[in-house]
Amino acid sequence: MSGAQVITVDGPAASGKGTIASGLGRRFGLPVLDSGLLYRAVGVLLEREGGDLDDAAAAAAVAGRLTAETLADPAFRTRGAGEAASRVAVHPQVREVLLQLQRAFAAQAGGAVLDGRDMGTVICPDAGAKLYVTARPEVRAERRWRQLTGQGESVSLDEVLADIHRRDARDSGREAAPMRPAADAALLDTSEMTIEQAADAARRIVEAARARQAP
């Protein structure tokens, strides 16, 4: 598979990568995969059936049953879902089940935008443009706190900051596909940027990468 038309957007929680990925999808006319949603769905559905998030086989079985319909659930956007996602995401068996699905999405004719933690390192190492989006933990906590309280969740900024630190440590410290920038990814720190500035910077990075590829 050639990933020339694929754009990968990786980075930690609330770095702005979701907004950037959907902006790139609109700008370049590409479908967008929010891979975090897959892990969120596995975590929440496993908890709903009374399963244990540390049970790799049970989590992999849930991953194998995901469908487009099951993914459309607002419950996957909650604070608890993010935590459950990062717990099931440590299991290599879960990642293996979700790998095929993500690679199939990436292989669509015309390309795709892939948003996640290991898109540029594991899912599509030959992507034509790779971004790694970061922001300071305090900035990310503030963004996530606004999102969660806007959804009606009752949580303090300090609790959200603690969540962010815990999730960063788990996502970058795990053995299976740890969160890290691909060697050839462009780093984009959005700490001091508005959404529009970040979207613009991302677009320029992709255009530059595509210009380098052009014959």
Binding site for ligand CDP (CB under 6 A): 13-14, 18, 35-36, 39-40, 82, 85-86, 89, 116-118, 167, 171
Closer CB to ligand CDP, residue 13 or residue 127? 13
Shortest approach of ligand CDP to residue 215 CB, angstroms? 31
Residue 53, SS3? coil
> How far is residue 63's CA from residue 88's CA, in Å, rounded to a whole number?
10
Residue 5 contacts residue 184 (beta carbons within 8 Å): no
Shortest approach of ligand CDP to residue 147 CB, angstroms? 9
Closer CB to ligand CDP, residue 23 or residue 116? 116
For ligand CDP, the nearest residue by Cβ is: 36
- Count CA atoms closer than 13 A to 95's CA, side-chain side: 19
Closer CB to ligand CDP, residue 5 or residue 8? 8
Closer CB to ligand CDP, residue 39 or residue 145? 39
Q: Is 22 exposed, middle or buried (0-12, 13-18, 19+ CB in 10 A)?
A: middle
Structure tokens at 163: 């969540």
Q: Please count the other Cβ atoms lying within 10 Å of the Cβ belonging to residue 157.
A: 14
Shortest approach of ligand CDP to residue 163 CB, angstroms? 9
Residue 135, SS3? coil
Shortest approach of ligand CDP to residue 79 CB, angstroms? 9
What lies within 8 Å, CB to CB, of 45 at 6+ separation is: 62, 65, 66, 70
Closer CB to ligand CDP, residue 117 or residue 130? 117
Structure tokens at 186: 């462009």
Shortest approach of ligand CDP to residue 10 CB, angstroms? 7
